[in-house]
Amino acid sequence: MDIMAQLDVIAQWMICILGPTAIWVVGWKNKYRRWGYVIGVACQPFWFITLFHNKQWPVFVIAFFYTFSWVHGIWNHWITTTNKSA
C-alpha cells in the first residue's frame, strides 16, 4: 500500500472518530459544548485528505462550508464576548 493510501485509511478512521464526537459534544447542554466546535475543526483536515485522495471534488467544495461552519462556532463560543444570558 502506498503512502497516500495509508494516509487515506488513517484519515477515514479519524473522520469516523472525530466527526460523530464533535456533533455529539455540540449537542450537550453544558459548558463543554463549545469543545465540539474545536473537535469539528480538528476533523476537517482529514476530510480534505480523503476527499483529495479519492478525487471527490463536489464534496471537497462542501467540506469548505463545513469548515467555515465549525470556525463560526469557535468564533461564537470561544472568541466573541457576547451576553451569554440572551
Evaluate if residue 84 carries a pLDDT over 90: no
Is the model more confident about 80 or about 85? Answer: 80
3-state DSSP assignment of residue 46: helix
3-state DSSP assignment of residue 10: helix
Q: Are 74 and 41 in contact (CB under 8 A)?
A: yes
pLDDT-derived band at 1 (thresholds 50, 70, 90) equals confident
**Predicted confidence (pLDDT) per residue in 9-30, tens digit:** 999 999 999 999 999 999 999 9
- For residue 22, the tally of other CB atoms under 10 A from its CB is 22
**Cα–Cα distances in angstroms (integers) from residue 29 to residues 32, 35, 36, 42, 44, in the given order:** 8, 12, 12, 21, 24
The three cell numbers of residue 2 are 502506498
**Predicted confidence (pLDDT) per residue in 35-58, tens digit:** 999 999 999 999 999 999 999 999
- Look at residue 82 in the predicted model and tell me its pLDDT: 65
